[in-house]
Amino acid sequence: MSALLELDGVSAGYGPFRALFDVSLTVPDGTAVALLGSNGSGKSTVARVATGLVPVSRGRIRFDGRDVTGWPAWRLARLGVAHAPEGRSVFASLTVEENLLLTFRAALGRGGVPDALARAYAAFPRLGERRKQSAGTLSGGEQRMLSLAKVLANPPRLLVVDELSLGLAPVVVDEVFRTLQLVRDNGTALLVVDQHVGRALALADHVVLLSKGQVVHHGPAGELGDLAEKLMPGAPV
């Protein structure tokens, strides 16, 4: 399968601080890649580089075969690259249903709205129960469900997920991962950073392990279970 996203010898950082050193990785089209590593190893920086939020100082970024090095986030977004939870933004003053209607109308046209609403509420019954509530008063987990429901309606080609399940109750984490699986099954490629290593590995086809800003392992997800536990003992699964 061809590479959808390719980082080739990428270095990047913040001001004089270098966070990534010669990072190369690929996300094949339609697959999920788990990006693992201890705190501060550079996972979020990779997520930001991949979505145009942090510029690279060396190396190339390719998307769907095109060199997109130096492209700003909005331009990558047009190609179908989405970043969550940055993409989590919901309209706080609108209700849950108004948020969904806005997205669904724009993405699918009026005719597609009833079906899309039904699918969103089937995937997230909680959103159905709270359809009249203003989105700004939803809990953090519910807001993430709402943003994922929007993603489901208008699937990006690549969804970069950085700690989307952070601080959520286990049952909500389950829902988030079920939805990510759904997003993937719909053909969206995923680059997933999550402290729930076991769940991320269960979702992933490939895994990339970062240490101190460098890739120290890149391979099929199945091989890594024990190694992940050794590198990140006690991490929630």
Ligand X SMILES: Nc1ncnc2c1ncn2[C@@H]1O[C@H](COP(=O)(O)OP(=O)(O)OP(=O)(O)O)[C@@H](O)[C@H]1O
Give the footprint of Mg ion on this chain (CB under 5 A).
44
Q: Which does 17 bind (CB under 5 to 8 A by kind): ligand X, Mg ion, none?
A: ligand X
Toward ligand X, which CB reaches closer, 162 or 205?
A: 162
Q: Is the peptide bond before 236 cis (omega within 30 degrees of 0)?
A: no
Closest CA to 156 of 180, 189, 123, 112: 189
Toward ligand X, which CB reaches closer, 159 or 208?
A: 208
8 A C-beta contact, residue 184 and residue 216: no
Tell me, rounded to whole angstroms, the distance of Cα 66 from its chain centroid: 21
Query: On the CB side of 155, how many CA atoms lie within 13 Å of its CA?
Result: 17
Toward ligand X, which CB reaches closer, 37 or 52?
A: 37
Q: Where are the alpha helices (DSSP H) in the chain?
A: 43-50, 73-79, 96-108, 113-123, 125-129, 140-153, 170-185, 197-203, 225-231
**Which residues contact ligand X by CB under 6 A?**
14, 17, 19, 37, 39-45
Sheet order of strands, 206-211 included: 81-84, 158-162, 189-193, 32-36, 206-211, 214-220
CB of 37 to ligand X, least distance (A): 5
- Phi and psi for 19 in degrees, rounded to 5? -100, -30
CB of 43 to ligand X, least distance (A): 3
CB of 237 to ligand X, least distance (A): 16
Q: Which does 140 bind (CB under 5 to 8 A by kind): Mg ion, ligand X, none?
A: none
Toward Mg ion, which CB reaches closer, 44 or 181?
A: 44
Toward ligand X, which CB reaches closer, 29 or 86?
A: 86
CB of 180 to ligand X, least distance (A): 18
Toward ligand X, which CB reaches closer, 182 or 232?
A: 232
Residue nearest Mg ion (C-beta atom): 44
Q: Which does 39 bind (CB under 5 to 8 A by kind): ligand X, Mg ion, none?
A: ligand X
8 A C-beta contact, residue 50 and residue 20: no
CB of 177 to ligand X, least distance (A): 18
Q: Which does 40 bind (CB under 5 to 8 A by kind): ligand X, Mg ion, none?
A: ligand X
Q: Pull the structure tokens for residue 203.
A: 């979702």
Q: Which does 7 bind (CB under 5 to 8 A by kind): Mg ion, ligand X, none?
A: none
